Amino acid sequence: MKKFKTESKKLLDLMINSIYTNREIFLRELISNASDAVDKLYFKSLTDSDVQLSKDELAIHVGFDEGARTITISDNGIGMTKDELDKNLGTIAHSDSQAFKTDNAEQQGDDIDIIGQFGVGFYSAFMVADKVTVISKAYGADEAWQWESSGADGYELTPAEKDTAGTDIILHIKDSTDTDNYENFLDEYGIVAIVKKYSDYVRYPIQMEREKSRQKPEPDPKPEDYKPEWETYTELETLNSMIPIWKKQKSEVTDEEYNNFYKDKFGDYADPARVIVSRTEGTANYNALLFVPSHRPYDFYTKDYEKGLALYASGVLIMEKCADLLPDYFSFVKGLVDSEDLSLNISREMLQHDVQLRQIAKSIEHTIKNELSRMLKNDREKYEQFFQAFGLQLKYGLYSDYGMHKDLLQDLLLFPSSKEAGKLVTLAEYVDRMPEDQTCIYYATGESIARIEALPQTEAVKEKGYEILYFTENVDEFAIKMLMKYKEKEFKSVSNSDLDLETEEEKKALEEKSADSKSMLETMTKALEGKVSAVKLSSRLKKHPVCLSSTGDLSMEMAKTLNAMPGADQKVEANVVLEINPNHPIYERLMALSTADEETLGKYSKLLYNQALLMEGMQIEDPVAFSDLICELMEK
């Protein structure tokens, strides 16, 4: 007996002891494996002229024997060699189960969720069977092999007899108990219903010998007391409709069917947020069925996440994940494209240069954009949920490729703002409700909304009655810089040194006061040499003594982000200005020191500068020196 690998064993134990109510999905899993195997053989026949095959013969067969308590799922697909049986059924290698493995570490015992979340594959057979026998003959091989396991901890591999290539999977169904009933899986109608429910779109016929009854032919001549006689017979019936869901008219398909197809095909446990059915004729002929997931996949921001759409040529799968069909900023979209314009045995390399494919991709990009815009307009709540999950990706898209996609993406953005707590605003809405005298779009950056709202720099803008967009993600300010303007309105950070919010009189008053404070400001600037480019008086501050602002294109937040990036060995620095509130009591104190004690003024400067940094949510350079300085000044 060979032992299962540890991970496989864990999964297996879970299946055996499963209390999952949807046990019936085992059939979906086995049929989908059978369909994959048939696909593989069919694909081989297209690319390899040695493989002679007629498409009509390809099929999956489901049979059962109530007396022996078995269900058999057979396919005439590619089959497995001894090594493949060993490798594929003895270890979990595929991605879904791999994900299961990592997740399982944290969620042990919570098996219901786990089973619901991932395609569970071959081992799901053990939810309903206490013994599983697999007899397989690989295409082109001389010998067949049998794999058999009763779950526990291992399996046996023995030579077997089988005439043709393909795989038979025989499940020995568990006995029913008081609490668990397995009889449905040994019942013709039960099995047929499960197949139709989950596997209706499988592209190969799923056949079953069905018992039927018919009237026996009437004898001729018919006796007086003739009573019609009935006989039962069996007939091979195809259970699935096979028409791919994306080929059906939208009106023929229910929402539930679309949702089930999505969950089944893309291994999600939740319904999609949006289903996009698109049929295009013209420069690019294709059917597309796309889905916007309702939540962010757990691996979305890992290197394991692969974007792409499944690509079919006239109903035949040619690529599971065609990355070229989706731009990065829509990488969250799942789905498939079926086109008659593509040839079947096109290679991956050729696809990259395929004009048709590029046209399809372009058209899909617009379809997705339009659908998202529609969602934003008609179903705001759902869009906001979507944006919580994938908004970041749209912002990255705006920033990438030197802002090339801004026209496509700018109206899909949402930001929190100072206007209404908990609500998000689009750029268009912001501009629409701007007061007449407002000329720029104001924004403030910070770690969180609460942090931003406490920023001294926001005071003056708010007092003017202007709305402020809150940027809480690192990418926000970078993305917006790519836009430069929206509807002719420039973006301006509230931390910009040149906010220009004052009236002429206010400006004049400030200028005069600044002239009086010239020597003090000079002393302070000197004390902060290398840290700030200037110290100046400011009219923007209301109750706070100081704040930092910056001039030029690079804000402090942006510099912080850039410097924190991996590989940023050359530090960039923003051009920082320390602003002082001339109406704050501290101002008088500074003025007094300016004539009496320049050395202490220098120390005060450092203190205020560091305080301003802290308020900004920035790190101070030397916390120890800072606290020493506080003590020193306290002792005075």
Residues that bind Mg ion in the complex, under the rule CB under 5 A: 33, 121
Verify binding: residue 338, ligand ADP, rule CB under 6 A.
Answer: no
**Which region, judged by CB under 6 A, interacts with ligand ADP, from 118-126, 390-398, 459-467, 552-560?**
118-126
**Which region, judged by CB under 6 A, interacts with ligand ADP, from 31-39, 207-215, 244-252, 461-469?**
31-39
**DSSP E strand stretches across 422-552:** 424-425, 440-445, 468-471, 485-486, 489-493, 534-537, 546-551
477 binds, among ligand ADP, Mg ion, none (CB under 5 to 8 A by kind): none
Q: State the number of binding residues for ligand ADP (CB under 6 A).
A: 17
**Which region, judged by CB under 6 A, interacts with ligand ADP, from 33-41, 239-247, 464-472, 589-597?**
33-41
Can you name the residues that pair with 550 across neighbouring β-strands? 496, 576
90 binds, among ligand ADP, Mg ion, none (CB under 5 to 8 A by kind): none
Beta strands 230-238 and 206-215 are: antiparallel
80 binds, among Mg ion, ligand ADP, none (CB under 5 to 8 A by kind): ligand ADP
Question: How far apart are CB 36 and Mg ion at their closest, in Å?
Answer: 7
Closest listed residue to residue 406, CA positions, set 378, 440, 369: 369
Comparison of 84 and 130: residue with beta carbon closer to ligand ADP: 84
Could you give the CA distance from residue 351 to residue 284 in angstroms, rounded to a whole number? 15
DSSP summary character for residue 295: S
335 binds, among ligand ADP, Mg ion, none (CB under 5 to 8 A by kind): none
**Which region, judged by CB under 6 A, interacts with ligand ADP, from 87-95, 203-211, 212-220, 439-447?**
87-95
Question: How far apart are CB 136 and ligand ADP at their closest, in Å?
Answer: 6
CA atoms lying within 13 Å on the CB side of residue 510 = 19
Residues 51-80 vs ligand ADP: string with x where CB under 6 A?
A: ------------------------x-xxxx
Could you give the CA distance from residue 76 to residue 535 in angstroms, rounded to a whole number? 81
Q: Where are the alpha helices (DSSP H) in 141-236?
A: 188-199
Other CB atoms within 10 Å distance of the CB of residue 253: 16
167 binds, among ligand ADP, Mg ion, none (CB under 5 to 8 A by kind): ligand ADP
Comparison of 167 and 363: residue with beta carbon closer to ligand ADP: 167
Verify binding: residue 200, ligand ADP, rule CB under 6 A.
Answer: no
Comparison of 95 and 150: residue with beta carbon closer to Mg ion: 95
Comparison of 29 and 365: residue with beta carbon closer to ligand ADP: 29
**Tokens representing 555?**
């804000």
Comparison of 79 and 327: residue with beta carbon closer to Mg ion: 79
Question: How far apart are CB 33 and Mg ion at their closest, in Å?
Answer: 4
**Which region, judged by CB under 6 A, interacts with ligand ADP, from 86-94, 104-112, 304-312, 401-409?**
86-94
- Give kind and range of the element (H or E) at residue 231: strand 230-238
Could you give the CA distance from residue 329 to residue 412 in angstroms, rounded to a whole number? 11
Other CB atoms within 10 Å distance of the CB of residue 101: 16
CA atoms lying within 13 Å on the CB side of residue 566 = 0
151 binds, among Mg ion, ligand ADP, none (CB under 5 to 8 A by kind): none
Verify binding: residue 508, ligand ADP, rule CB under 6 A.
Answer: no
Select from 94, 366, 423, 487 the one that contacts ligand ADP (CB under 6 A).
94
114 binds, among ligand ADP, Mg ion, none (CB under 5 to 8 A by kind): none
Question: How far apart are CB 87 and ligand ADP at their closest, in Å?
Answer: 8
Question: How far apart are CB 121 and Mg ion at their closest, in Å?
Answer: 4
**Which region, judged by CB under 6 A, interacts with ligand ADP, from 106-114, 115-123, 144-152, 294-302?**
115-123
Comparison of 24 and 29: residue with beta carbon closer to ligand ADP: 29
Comparison of 25 and 577: residue with beta carbon closer to ligand ADP: 25
616 binds, among Mg ion, ligand ADP, none (CB under 5 to 8 A by kind): none
Verify binding: residue 86, ligand ADP, rule CB under 6 A.
Answer: no
Question: How far apart are CB 351 and ligand ADP at their closest, in Å?
Answer: 23
- Residue 580 phi, psi dihedral angles, 5° rounding: -120, 140
Closest listed residue to residue 139, CA positions, set 257, 260, 52, 234: 52
Residue nearest to ligand ADP (CB): 121
In the window 119-178, what residues touch ligand ADP (CB under 6 A)? 119, 121-122, 167
**Degrees to nearest 5, angle at CA 390 with 388 and 392:** 90
Verify binding: residue 324, ligand ADP, rule CB under 6 A.
Answer: no
Can you name the residues that pair with 313 across neighbouring β-strands? 316, 339
Select from 8, 18, 76, 88 the one that contacts ligand ADP (CB under 6 A).
88
- Residue 432 phi, psi dihedral angles, 5° rounding: -60, -35
25 binds, among Mg ion, ligand ADP, none (CB under 5 to 8 A by kind): none
CA distances from 51 to 41, 54, 137, 140, 145 (A): 9, 10, 16, 9, 22
Could you give the CA distance from residue 344 to residue 338 in angstroms, rounded to a whole number? 11
94 binds, among ligand ADP, Mg ion, none (CB under 5 to 8 A by kind): ligand ADP
Could you give the CA distance from residue 72 to residue 62 in angstroms, rounded to a whole number? 6
Verify binding: residue 7, ligand ADP, rule CB under 6 A.
Answer: no
CA distances from 603 to 119, 422, 548, 596, 599 (A): 65, 42, 17, 14, 7
Number of H helices, E strands in the chain: 21, 23
Question: How far apart are CB 134 and Mg ion at their closest, in Å?
Answer: 13
Could you give the CA distance from residue 330 to residue 525 in angstroms, rounded to a whole number? 48
Question: How far apart are CB 334 and ligand ADP at their closest, in Å?
Answer: 16
Comparison of 79 and 582: residue with beta carbon closer to ligand ADP: 79
Verify binding: residue 12, ligand ADP, rule CB under 6 A.
Answer: no
Helix, strand, coil: what percent of the chain each, to 5? Answer: 45, 20, 35
Closest listed residue to residue 76, CA positions, set 138, 170, 166: 166
Residues shown for the chain: 636
Contact positions toward ligand ADP, by CB under 6 A?
29, 33-34, 37, 75, 77-80, 88-89, 94, 96, 119, 121-122, 167
